[in-house]
Copies of this chain bind each other. A is one copy, B any other.
Protein backbone atom coordinates (compact mmCIF):
# COMPACT_ATOMS: atom_id res chain seq x y z
CA UNK A 1 0.00 0.00 0.00
CA UNK A 2 1.07 3.57 -0.60
CA UNK A 3 2.42 5.64 2.28
CA UNK A 4 -0.31 7.25 4.34
CA UNK A 5 -1.39 10.67 3.13
CA UNK A 6 -1.05 13.00 6.13
CA UNK A 7 -3.99 15.04 4.82
CA UNK A 8 -6.30 12.00 4.66
CA UNK A 9 -8.62 11.30 7.58
CA UNK A 10 -7.47 8.44 9.78
CA UNK A 11 -9.44 5.20 9.87
CA UNK A 12 -11.49 4.74 13.00
CA UNK A 13 -13.73 1.74 13.64
CA UNK A 14 -17.43 2.65 13.59
CA UNK A 15 -18.62 2.85 17.18
CA UNK A 16 -21.64 0.59 16.59
CA UNK A 17 -19.42 -2.13 15.11
CA UNK A 18 -17.03 -1.64 18.03
CA UNK A 19 -19.88 -2.04 20.52
CA UNK A 20 -21.37 -5.12 18.83
CA UNK A 21 -18.19 -7.12 18.23
CA UNK A 22 -14.85 -8.17 19.68
CA UNK A 23 -11.41 -8.01 18.07
CA UNK A 24 -9.99 -11.29 16.76
CA UNK A 25 -7.07 -10.22 14.57
CA UNK A 26 -5.75 -7.36 12.46
CA UNK A 27 -5.35 -8.87 8.99
CA UNK A 28 -3.41 -7.16 6.18
CA UNK A 29 -6.35 -4.97 5.19
CA UNK A 30 -9.16 -5.66 7.61
CA UNK A 31 -9.99 -5.76 11.26
CA UNK A 32 -11.43 -9.24 11.81
CA UNK A 33 -13.99 -9.22 14.63
CA UNK A 34 -16.40 -11.67 16.25
CA UNK A 35 -19.98 -10.40 16.41
CA UNK A 36 -21.27 -10.61 19.95
CA UNK A 37 -24.21 -12.84 19.14
CA UNK A 38 -24.02 -16.35 20.53
CA UNK A 39 -26.85 -17.50 18.25
CA UNK A 40 -24.52 -17.80 15.23
CA UNK A 41 -20.75 -17.99 14.76
CA UNK A 42 -20.50 -14.63 12.98
CA UNK A 43 -17.43 -12.72 11.84
CA UNK A 44 -17.22 -9.20 10.45
CA UNK A 45 -14.36 -7.76 8.39
CA UNK A 46 -13.76 -4.01 8.36
CA UNK A 47 -11.17 -2.71 5.88
CA UNK A 48 -9.02 -0.04 7.52
CA UNK A 49 -9.86 2.54 4.84
CA UNK A 50 -11.28 5.83 6.08
CA UNK A 51 -14.55 6.74 4.36
CA UNK A 52 -14.99 3.45 2.43
CA UNK A 53 -18.65 2.60 1.89
CA UNK A 54 -19.17 0.42 -1.20
CA UNK A 55 -17.15 -2.57 -2.42
CA UNK A 56 -16.98 -1.07 -5.91
CA UNK A 57 -15.33 2.11 -4.65
CA UNK A 58 -12.22 0.29 -3.43
CA UNK A 59 -9.01 0.47 -5.46
CA UNK A 60 -8.77 -2.78 -7.45
CA UNK A 61 -5.89 -4.19 -5.39
CA UNK A 62 -7.74 -3.52 -2.15
CA UNK A 63 -10.92 -5.04 -3.58
CA UNK A 64 -9.03 -8.25 -4.36
CA UNK A 65 -7.45 -8.23 -0.88
CA UNK A 66 -10.85 -7.80 0.75
CA UNK A 67 -12.17 -10.76 -1.28
CA UNK A 68 -9.21 -12.87 -0.14
CA UNK A 69 -9.69 -11.95 3.52
CA UNK A 70 -13.44 -12.61 3.23
CA UNK A 71 -12.66 -16.09 1.93
CA UNK A 72 -10.12 -16.55 4.72
CA UNK A 73 -12.80 -15.73 7.29
CA UNK A 74 -15.24 -18.14 5.62
CA UNK A 75 -12.67 -20.95 5.67
CA UNK A 76 -11.93 -20.18 9.30
CA UNK A 77 -15.61 -20.56 10.27
CA UNK A 78 -15.90 -23.74 8.23
CA UNK A 79 -12.93 -25.27 10.04
CA UNK A 80 -14.22 -24.09 13.40
CA UNK A 81 -17.86 -25.22 13.24
CA UNK A 82 -18.50 -27.03 9.90
CA UNK A 83 -21.69 -25.04 9.17
CA UNK A 84 -24.49 -26.19 6.89
CA UNK A 85 -24.13 -22.94 4.92
CA UNK A 86 -22.01 -19.83 4.87
CA UNK A 87 -23.68 -16.44 4.43
CA UNK A 88 -21.46 -13.66 3.08
CA UNK A 89 -22.81 -10.14 2.72
CA UNK A 90 -21.94 -6.48 2.41
CA UNK A 91 -25.07 -4.53 3.34
CA UNK A 92 -24.36 -1.28 5.20
CA UNK A 93 -27.91 0.03 5.36
CA UNK A 94 -27.53 0.82 9.06
CA UNK A 95 -23.76 1.21 9.57
CA UNK A 96 -22.25 3.10 6.64
CA UNK A 97 -18.63 2.09 7.23
CA UNK A 98 -17.77 -0.64 4.73
CA UNK A 99 -17.87 -4.06 6.38
CA UNK A 100 -18.44 -7.64 5.28
CA UNK A 101 -20.37 -10.21 7.27
CA UNK A 102 -19.44 -13.90 7.23
CA UNK A 103 -21.95 -15.99 9.16
CA UNK A 104 -21.91 -19.73 9.82
CA UNK A 105 -25.47 -20.97 9.48
CA UNK A 106 -27.11 -24.17 10.60
CA UNK A 107 -30.45 -25.63 9.60
CA UNK A 108 -31.31 -25.70 13.30
CA UNK A 109 -30.24 -22.13 14.11
CA UNK A 110 -32.64 -19.52 15.47
CA UNK A 111 -33.24 -17.63 12.23
CA UNK A 112 -32.91 -20.38 9.59
CA UNK A 113 -33.57 -20.06 6.67
CA UNK A 114 -33.93 -16.29 7.00
CA UNK A 115 -30.87 -14.05 6.97
CA UNK A 116 -29.65 -13.09 10.44
CA UNK A 117 -29.77 -9.30 10.08
CA UNK A 118 -32.54 -7.59 11.99
CA UNK A 119 -34.26 -10.89 12.69
CA UNK A 120 -33.77 -11.56 16.36
CA UNK A 121 -32.24 -9.53 19.19
CA UNK A 122 -28.54 -10.25 19.56
CA UNK A 123 -27.70 -12.61 22.42
CA UNK A 124 -24.31 -11.55 23.78
CA UNK A 125 -21.86 -14.32 24.66
CA UNK A 126 -21.11 -15.12 28.25
CA UNK A 127 -17.59 -13.83 28.92
CA UNK A 128 -15.98 -17.28 29.04
CA UNK A 129 -17.73 -18.48 25.89
CA UNK A 130 -16.64 -15.37 24.01
CA UNK A 131 -13.04 -15.66 25.17
CA UNK A 132 -13.01 -19.32 24.20
CA UNK A 133 -14.41 -18.53 20.74
CA UNK A 134 -11.85 -15.79 20.13
CA UNK A 135 -9.03 -18.05 21.31
CA UNK A 136 -10.08 -20.86 19.01
CA UNK A 137 -10.34 -18.46 16.07
CA UNK A 138 -6.87 -17.05 16.75
CA UNK A 139 -5.39 -20.53 17.11
CA UNK A 140 -6.85 -21.55 13.73
CA UNK A 141 -5.56 -18.34 12.12
CA UNK A 142 -2.07 -19.07 13.41
CA UNK A 143 -2.15 -22.75 12.43
A residues with CB within 8 A of B: 54-56, 63-64, 67, 70-71, 74-75, 78, 85-94, 105, 112-115, 117-118
Contacts and interface: CB of A to CB of B under 8 A. Distances in A.
- In this complex, the member of A78, A93, A118 whose beta carbon has the largest number of chain B beta carbons within 10 angstroms is A93
B88 A90 contact: yes
A78 B56 contact: yes
Given A67-B67, A105-B93, A86 B117 contact: no
Main SS at interface, chain A:
mixed
Nearest to A77: B56
A67 B13 CA distance: 25
Contact of A71 (B55, B112, B113, B115): B55
A91 B72 CA distance: 17
Contact of A93 (B55, B85, B94): B85
Contacts of A89: 87-91, 115
A70 B54 CA distance: 12
Given A71-B56, A117-B114, A87 B78 contact: no
